[in-house]
Chains A and B, each alone.
Chain A
């Protein structure tokens, strides 16, 4: 199977779901929902589980494993109940060895399976680096397609849970620099399920980053407020069956005219809060697929607004924002009316007790909006 086979109705469904956020009438969204069957309120955890459930059901070659993934259902419960439903040979626990988890997945991919593996925290992925960078990413290339690694590597990322330096990182830029990988980060349950199904079906290896602060609700950076559950958010309404959200397609999360915000994951909601609080009519682009990138959506927006703020939670230097700023400069220079602003995590390890000083919250983003508007 191949994500190129995504039908246009799937694509329309995804786009109209997003449109519904800003279009309470939701006309097209209703059609989208009927085209993919019944929907129900899901957290991002439930949506991810549903994606794996759907794919385990549809494709005998899909297997799911990782640390604590089998009997217990994962430390974040993303795989709860799947072992019971599909048996221990398709959903199982793995030794505490990220290199082993990814390395076996590469071998299974070469055999013809579609493994979906969980790295318990993105911070733990580094022992698997050689298997990801030198093996999974290059197997198709070096063997001229004789062998491939159609594997999906899921990992919770990002901070805001008092996880300290080893449970809070956002390592996406380490993967976007590797040719042959796809790097994906959903910001809501609807996209999480559709993107995960597309990733499992994709014949390229996919790094699937899950912003864990969004698992239970759209977190906007105001940590002093109670979490709004996904059940109260339109993007928490998720089709129960099969659908895909195409890889390498960004979403306009919030249309606007004053400036363009490029964000992904948790920063989508932080940027939304910053727009509301600053009164700047920001157009927020949710990348969803970080690489390969939907450059067209970005370029069209920046050419329209002439101002741009790039926001990510990962450390600033050599972060993915640097690539975004560079691309915008190459493609939109003569349309820019202000220097491009970057808001990111500081270039320090993710601190524990000081995490809200580290986290690029709505105030920092709003200040960048102000600088971009006043320049």
Chain B
């Protein structure tokens, strides 16, 4: 027998780095319409194959094909396009405002708009999302979206609903089904499962939807969430947004090499789907399937949304330092807005002129909202809430030691 070679530590590397192109063949793809759609009451074990394929509806020519094509009217499709364009316009404007130091920090959802916008449109009022920091589309796609409130939060100004306590983008809005964003990763997954368990304990009809990126799936709370969701058959959707990058860390470092994130669900006995996250129709259809399953006491679904983080992680990093600058253009799943636009044009229900007009209208809407928010100040002009308020809400009723410390601060 051959002698043993010394053992080697395997540290995964992306195929592309600055200076040489990414080989995207590491991502298993399926043709649009090629993946089967099981009935919503299928056993979890009967979905195992769907963790390794890719559910897609929109083909290269903008047609909706296959068993997952949702039955959506043109008005709904236009609404979805509007939500995505709005989200992108909002992000672009806020990115500039951050450069102008009106806020300390910002995070774009560029390229990932279909996932949160289509999912939001599939939800029912009363359902609760437990988001991470790149799901602003969940708020912006809502009919009751309040951009002024969102921008006041970003600017940490006098009207910031969170009183300047949270980093920009860490929104909280119970009435809009949006749980307070933590900033500590993955904590929200097990909390979403708990919320869903509570809904089941009370005999309610509401479901929870938790959100996590590929990188944070390495945290214990993600795996714990899968176990509890399975054990108690919790009415929850476990969304994993695989955008390939966690700051500078490629998804293989989170454990994506040679497998999929959807496959995590299979081992836990959870129905699992792997879906084209840049395909608005596929996102809507898969969300609807999982929501129906949850609402019918059929238990949780894990959905891996395959997408690409087209922007930096946040305003604090420069992605050209760690990945090829042409990745976005070469990513095989394209741009979610361009793809839905093409679909509507194919249907004869949209035109470039209408799209340009929509773009301008929404940019103006965002600009107007920003102007309104700026009336209440920005971080740059120092119109933030009084430090006296930082002692409130630590406890329901302020204890003596905090009253004393507030006095020491002299306010």
Interface residues on A, range: 35 or more
Q: Closest Cβ of chain B: how far from A200's Cβ, in Å? A: 14
* CA A212 to CA B122, docked complex, whole Å: 50
Q: Closest Cβ of chain A: how far from B302's Cβ, in Å? A: 16
Say yes or no: B174 contacts A104, CB within 8 Å: no
Given known A-B contacts A97-B227, A111-B199, A135 and B394 have beta carbons under 8 A apart: no
A108 interfacial by beta-carbon distance below 8 Å: yes
Residues of B within 8 A of A74 (CB): none
Within 8 A of B (CB), among A131-175: 131, 134-135, 139-148
Given known A-B contacts A103-B224, A130-B187, A146 and B173 have beta carbons under 8 A apart: yes
Residues of B within 8 A of A40 (CB): none
Given known A-B contacts A130-B184, A135-B184, A147-B172, A104 and B194 have beta carbons under 8 A apart: yes
Say yes or no: B191 contacts A203, CB within 8 Å: no
Within 8 A of B (CB), among A289-331: 292-293, 295
Within 8 A of B (CB), among A244-260: 248
A204 interfacial by beta-carbon distance below 8 Å: yes
Residues of B within 8 A of A203 (CB): 396
Q: Closest Cβ of chain B: how far from A238's Cβ, in Å? A: 28
A233 interfacial by beta-carbon distance below 8 Å: no
Within 8 A of B (CB), among A53-95: 63, 89-90, 94-95
Say yes or no: A107 contacts B180, CB within 8 Å: no
Within 8 A of A (CB), among B130-173: 130, 161-163, 165-166, 170, 172-173
* CA A346 to CA B128, docked complex, whole Å: 48
Residues of A within 8 A of B193 (CB): 103-104, 107
B395 interfacial by beta-carbon distance below 8 Å: yes
Say yes or no: B198 contacts A111, CB within 8 Å: yes
Say yes or no: B399 contacts A292, CB within 8 Å: yes
Total CB contacts across the A-B interface at under 8 A: 142
Interface residues on B, range: 35 or more
10 closest A-B pairs by beta carbon, nearest first, are A107-B194, A104-B194, A103-B190, A111-B198, A107-B191, A143-B180, A107-B195, A100-B224, A292-B399, A143-B172
CB pairs A–B below 8 angstroms (18 shown): A4-B396, A95-B228, A95-B231, A99-B224, A100-B221, A103-B190, A103-B224, A105-B194, A106-B191, A130-B221, A131-B190, A135-B182, A135-B191, A142-B166, A143-B174, A146-B173, A147-B174, A204-B396
Q: Closest Cβ of chain A: how far from B230's Cβ, in Å? A: 10
Residues of A within 8 A of B166 (CB): 142
Given known A-B contacts A135-B182, A144-B172, A147-B172, A107 and B196 have beta carbons under 8 A apart: yes
Given known A-B contacts A104-B193, A139-B180, A113 and B400 have beta carbons under 8 A apart: no
